Amino acid sequence: MITRGISSLAKGMQAMIDLEDITAHNLANVTTTGFKRTNVTFQDIMQGNVLTKNEKGTYKDVGSLSIGARADRTYIDFSQGGLQESGNKLDVAFQGDGFFKIRFQDVKDDAPYDEKNYYYQRTGQFALTDENYLINKEGDYVMDTRNKRIRITRDPDTDDINEMNRLEIAKDLVIGENGQISLCNPNFTANLQKIQICDFKDKTKISSIGQAKYLPIYGQDAGLYTKNDGTYSLQQGFVEMSNANTIKEMLNSINVSRGYETMSTMLKRESDTVQHAISLGNISNK
């Protein structure tokens, strides 16, 4: 029993270290486009009821007691980040829930469908390949509603990239709030492909694979579905910023440091108490 306080404080200090690691990760990504901050939940360890015995010999429940807390699980906070205008016609920001569906660049068009070939992200900083395919910053392909690569030309089904099939992005390209890509030119107007927007029914079952990319946790059903319910809008020429706030994360870090220092001081006192008890025991045995 005498060492219970030491054990409890040690576990609490480890929980503070885990929380500080997560806070540092959030703080390091406050300027990362499309980043979503991580939160952590804590769990009591071996919490049980405390009973007291009265003069009649019966026991009364007087409360509960835990031997400490530990980090239980982490989860991603998918709350909306602020939008910042970029002026780039190929930048697209989400307002509301949803993710772009992205295919790894080394997957062939004729490969059998496999979810392992895709991931999901909200970062909409796009560009065009030499063949006018729409890609993200890593060079992976943005998917349309037919699960095909998006190709922005006057005639996407034609491989020809001559002047007649090209377009002036700055003048002609329009990406609607629902993801519909259109060409609007006084001499030529047409609807092209539509960006596929996906979402998850249970976002606690998806995890980050780095660079603001997300996948369902292996072996868990996150409820992936294609969105067409109008609960989102895409804003062309904007980017979604990180939802991590510098001031809040700094305050979290300060509070964690103070909590750790307090526990460290209490741990030293508990250790001194145990040492004192051992010394008294040695004296009484002489």
- Residue spans of the domains in the chain: they are 4-77+245-284, 83-240
In angstroms, rounded to a whole number, what is the distance separating the alpha carbons of residues 137 and 91?
A: 11
Max mean pLDDT among 40-44, 159-163, 232-236 falls in 232-236
Answer yes or no: are the C-beta atoms of 270 and 12 closer than 8 Å. Answer: no
> Is the pLDDT assigned to residue 102 strictly greater than 70?
yes
> Is the pLDDT assigned to residue 218 strictly greater than 70?
yes
- How far from 226 is each of 62, 108, 122, 201, CA to CA, in Å? 52, 22, 14, 11
Residue 95 tokens read as: 């307002």
pLDDT at 135: 97
Q: What is the 3-state secondary structure (H, E, C) of 90-114?
A: CEEEEEECCEEEEECCCCCCCCCCC
pTM: 0.77
- What is the identity of the amino acid at 177? E
> Is the pLDDT assigned to residue 101 strictly greater than 70?
yes
> Is the pLDDT assigned to residue 219 strictly greater than 60?
yes
Per-residue pLDDT, averaged over 198-222, amounts to 91
Q: What is the pLDDT of residues 129-182, one digit of tens each?
A: 988 899 999 999 999 999 999 998 866 566 655 554 555 665 788 999 999 999
The band of 33, judged by pLDDT with boundaries at 50, 70 and 90, is confident
In angstroms, rounded to a whole number, what is the distance separating the alpha carbons of residues 121 and 273?
A: 53
* Average pLDDT score over the chain: 83
> Is the pLDDT assigned to residue 62 strictly greater than 70?
no
The band of 268, judged by pLDDT with boundaries at 50, 70 and 90, is confident
Per-residue pLDDT, averaged over 249-257, amounts to 89
